[in-house]
Chain A
Amino acid sequence: MAQRQSFTNKWFSPQARQETVAGFLLIAPVLCGFLFFVAAPMLSTFWLSFHYYDLLSAPKWAGLDNFLWMLDDDRLHAVLRNTLFFAVFAVLGNTVLAVILAAILNQKMPKSLQAVFRAAFFFPALVGLVFVAVIWQFFYHKDLGIINYYLSTLGIEKVAWLSNANTVLYSVIILDIWKNVGFGMLIALAGLQGISAEYYEAAKIDNAGKIRQFFDITLPLLSPTILFLLVMNSIGAFRVFDSIVVLTKGGPGDASRSLVMYIQEVGFRDLEMGYASAISLLLLALVGIVTIINFVASKYWTFYE
């Protein structure tokens, strides 16, 4: 009884009621947006994945057909392989380089020099991926490209950056790292600034060199930030789309086509909305699995101060 009393007091005193009304007023726009543009489409993706739907006629029940087709669809397997390959190297490259760059940049150096370096590495992260991908096309061009020009002056044979099925994904990965490493660096830098200088003072007394300081102090204390970078970079990598559309349109053949490109093609070109939704769930599962793995792994290797 007493509990009931306090419950009603908590929500129904004039002041509490005023606060409840205010609270719902303040969250109303975001809540409407969420229900209409996030929750509804999320649920619809599940629903559509069990249907055939081509926008023109009414949706038809498909049972598990869309999922069974996923098992047989060789093109899906190809784009999945491409996406995973891209993700592994882009995530590792982006994360490792970001941490190394941040560690170097965090050393004692003149403030102006640090600002210049930081700006140079971060700026590409601010610019739209499609814009820079268009520039990079001129760098990657096989016969007239700038990279091959310098390679040939060094006597190295021309590389078919975008037209060889075996190299094209590396080209996309290089662009991705160039574009994104600066953002990761910034986040790692913020993490480093949270590490107390005392640790490094202690290391100096022990006469530990900079490389050893990096492995013994920086890396363990930075592990929560590294975990965050891994998750952020993985979620980003699974969605790779813009750069490939501009550089190769998925080619040669399907050699560089990504999962999201395939979703777009199946859904909006072939108008197989049900199958596209089923593939979307695969993407969702990938993101979910990686996030869970990262957090479980973190229990074992991240070090919270």
Chain B
Amino acid sequence: MSNAATAGPSLGRAIADRGTTYLLWTVLGLGSLLMAAPFIWMFTATLSPMSQAFTLPPRWLPGSDITIESYLRAVRDYPQLVRYFWNSVYISTLVTVGYVAVTTMAGYAFARLEFPFKRLLFGMLLVSLMVPIQTMIVPLYIIMRGIGLLGTSGSIILPGMIGAFAPGLSGVFGVFLMRQFFLTVPKDLIEAGKVDGAGPIRIFWTIAAPLAKPQMAALAIIVFTMTWNDYFLPLVFMLTGDDQVLPLAVVGISGGRGGEVPAAVILAAVSISILPILIAFVAMQRLIVESFMRAGVK
């Protein structure tokens, strides 16, 4: 705030600015409530007795009749939900581990090693950053069918683990992010390894990779979230199989049987899908926010 002791016009300005500040905080506060409203309503609905889940006027906070009835009913009516939950966990985990590992390796090579065709290869990869996966979906479907992965979780895991693409992210995104990081690592640190006679792979493994842990964590958070949430790739690749993931299950339940599924059951399925992300966000908000900031700034 500017100094109130200054004369004339700036005193007026200071008062006006303070007024604006409080006004803006109020606007932000109301906006925050609007942003949170759908989640608050959903949790309230799933924690209310099933008959009260979708009533008007809407309930915004659970009352003394709080119950987990709708969750029990959802798991009873759709026992496969539990299996799909674990499918989502293990697919997202495998994709994340593989994607982060191979893009870190490639990012390091492109940043710090010299080899023939390096620029050409990197430029080639960069082109695919501009190509949405949706434009290649038809041939990808044919490829998945050809190698027998259609209808299995392998159709998501394989391309993710070798860094071709994770749902919603091209593989280059990770390569680019990690390369940018390794470019900031001082050369001296790496040269020190060379003096000790260590080969390039050893230097990567013992010196460079450990330094990159925070950046790898940031990338992992992004990849895991995107994979957990993605609907498009599982819809095209996995719908025909027995193994499904939460986004497919939730859409299936919510659109199921001509509106006969109780609102509380649908919302319980949504809630089960959102809770892990919410818990992670509450537990490590700063880390998650900073991860996405890093990714955006490049």
Chain A residues in contact with chain B, CB under 8 A? 10-11, 16, 18-20, 22-27, 29-34, 36-42, 44-45, 48, 55, 101, 104-105, 107-109, 113, 115-132, 134-139, 144, 146, 149, 178, 182-183, 186-187, 189-191, 204, 207, 209-210, 228, 232, 235, 238-239, 241-242, 245-246, 249, 260, 263-264, 267-268, 273, 276-277, 280-281, 283-284, 287-288, 291
> What A residues does B85 contact at CB under 8 A?
none
B32 touches A121 (CB 8 A): yes
A246 touches B35 (CB 8 A): no
Count residues on chain B whose CB falls below 8 Å from chain A CBs.
Answer: 101
A149 touches B57 (CB 8 A): yes
B247 touches A122 (CB 8 A): no
* Total inter-chain residue pairs, C-beta < 8 Å: 290
Nearest CB of A to B293, in Å = 5
B105 touches A29 (CB 8 A): yes
Q: Can you name 22 A-B residue pairings with CB atoms under 8 Å?
A: A20-B115, A26-B109, A27-B110, A33-B162, A34-B171, A36-B164, A44-B138, A101-B28, A105-B28, A120-B33, A121-B31, A128-B228, A130-B247, A130-B251, A135-B38, A137-B254, A149-B57, A178-B34, A207-B13, A246-B254, A263-B138, A276-B138
Of the residues A37, A241, A268, contact of B134 by C-beta under 8 Å: A241
B231 touches A129 (CB 8 A): yes
Q: A16-B114, A277-B138 are in contact. Are A32 and B132 (CB under 8 A)?
A: no
A44 touches B171 (CB 8 A): no
A288 touches B251 (CB 8 A): no
Q: A33-B171, A149-B58 are in contact. Are A115 and B285 (CB under 8 A)?
A: yes
Of the residues A25, A29, A109, A276, contact of B25 by C-beta under 8 Å: A109
A41 touches B232 (CB 8 A): no
Contact with A along B212-238 (1 / 0, CB 8 A): 000000000000010011111001100
Contact with A along B125-142 (1 / 0, CB 8 A): 100101110111111111
A189 and B247 alpha carbons, distance in the complex (Å): 31
> What A residues does B172 contact at CB under 8 A?
34
Q: A30-B175, A38-B170, A107-B24 are in contact. Are A124 and B35 (CB under 8 A)?
A: yes
A238 and B29 alpha carbons, distance in the complex (Å): 32
Q: A128-B228, A187-B293, A283-B132 are in contact. Are A23 and B114 (CB under 8 A)?
A: yes
> What A residues does B230 contact at CB under 8 A?
128
> What B residues does A105 contact at CB under 8 A?
28
Q: Does B71 contact A (CB under 8 A)?
A: no
Chain B residues in contact with chain A, CB under 8 A? 1-2, 9-10, 13, 16-17, 20-21, 24-25, 27-29, 31-36, 38-39, 41-42, 54, 56-58, 102-103, 105-106, 108-110, 113-116, 118, 121, 124-125, 128, 130-132, 134-143, 145, 159, 162-165, 170-172, 175, 199-201, 204, 225, 228-232, 235-236, 247, 250-251, 254-255, 263, 266-267, 270, 273-274, 277-278, 281, 285, 288-289, 292-293, 296-298
> What B residues does A126 contact at CB under 8 A?
225, 277, 281, 288
Q: Which residue of A lies closest to B108 (CB)?
A: A26
Q: Which residue of A lies closest to B143 (CB)?
A: A41
A34 touches B35 (CB 8 A): no
> What A residues does B137 contact at CB under 8 A?
263-264, 267, 280
B162 touches A30 (CB 8 A): yes
B135 touches A280 (CB 8 A): yes
> What A residues does B170 contact at CB under 8 A?
38
- Which 4 interchain pairs have the tightest Cβ spacing? A128-B229, A33-B164, A23-B115, A120-B32
Of the residues A33, A120, A241, A267, contact of B35 by C-beta under 8 Å: A120
B20 touches A210 (CB 8 A): yes
B132 touches A235 (CB 8 A): yes
B297 touches A242 (CB 8 A): no
A104 and B28 alpha carbons, distance in the complex (Å): 8
> What B residues does A136 contact at CB under 8 A?
38
Of the residues B1, B162, B201, contact of A29 by C-beta under 8 Å: B162
Q: Which residue of A lies closest to B53 (CB)?
A: A138
Q: What 10 new A-B contacts, CB under 8 Å, besides A33-B165, A38-B170, A128-B247?
A: A18-B200, A20-B114, A30-B125, A34-B171, A104-B24, A122-B292, A132-B38, A134-B266, A178-B34, A246-B254
Q: A41-B139, A134-B250, A280-B138 are in contact. Are A123 and B109 (CB under 8 A)?
A: no
B116 touches A20 (CB 8 A): yes
B35 touches A123 (CB 8 A): yes
> What B residues does A23 contact at CB under 8 A?
109, 113-115, 118, 200
Q: Which of B135, B164, B228 has the most CB of A within 10 A?
A: B135
Nearest CB of B to A283, in Å = 5
A211 and B289 alpha carbons, distance in the complex (Å): 28
Of the residues A26, A34, A267, contact of B201 by C-beta under 8 Å: A26
Nearest CB of B to A271, in Å = 10
B143 touches A30 (CB 8 A): no
A40 and B243 alpha carbons, distance in the complex (Å): 27
> What B residues does A242 contact at CB under 8 A?
231-232, 247
A273 and B281 alpha carbons, distance in the complex (Å): 41
